[in-house]
Amino acid sequence: MTALIVANAFAWIAIAALTVAVLALARQVGILHERIAPMGALTMDAGPKTGSPAPTFAIAALDQTIATVGGSRGRTQLLFFLSPTCPVCKKLLPILRAIAADERRTTEVLLASDGPAAEHLAFYRREKLAPFPYVLSAELGMTYHIGRLPYAVVIGPDGRIAAKGLVNNREQIESLLVAQELGVGSLQDFLSRNTEGAHERHDDVAVG
């Protein structure tokens, strides 16, 4: 009987210790979550700079209309560089459709690539991309120094480059639109500025 009581006591002590450990671990996870900021699109330091006027192009689209890239147009333009052979690009197409539908009053989505027109036309029809202007222009890609895909550029209503970067998921595409709203080139830039500001304030307090 005594052994049973001792065993139960040890069991309760072990349960209490495990509860404390789980609570401590949960607290550490919460702290880590607060410290880790969401990663936005990866900005490549090449091509036209954010804040500068976007180069203006008038290019024949696959639907035989003329698409204007850049320039002051009263709406934001999301320029998305893709390829028919890029699996990540294909994965993002439904996301672009959703953004185009949700933001249709304020944002125009335009697809861009280069290469044989026949290949792109087949891709355009297969993926049912008729709602989007789809342009082929090697010059456009070279102007923005596109080296990896998928890549997106946000051009503000004033015709200036608001944000740009490599995008692999919905969060990264939306981060470019958020960066535009915040008036920064990327979320990393915004977080960097806030971190530097916090350090400066901390230094001022320390000196005072």
Residue 41's nearest CA partner among 179, 191, 208, 194 is 179
Domain boundaries, the chain: 1-36, 57-191
Torsion of CA 125, 131, 133, 136, to 10 degrees: -20
> Over the range 163-198, which residues count as b (16 or more CB within 10 Å of their CB) and which as e?
bbbbbbeeebbbbbbbbbeeebbbbbbbeeeeeeee
Predicted TM-score (pTM) of the model is 0.72
Task: Determine whether domain 57-191 maps to CATH 3.40.30.10.
Answer: yes
**% of the chain exceeding 70 in pLDDT:** 73
- pLDDT of 41: 62
pLDDT tens string 30-50: 443 333 344 556 666 678 999
Residue 58's nearest CA partner among 154, 145, 135, 111 is 135
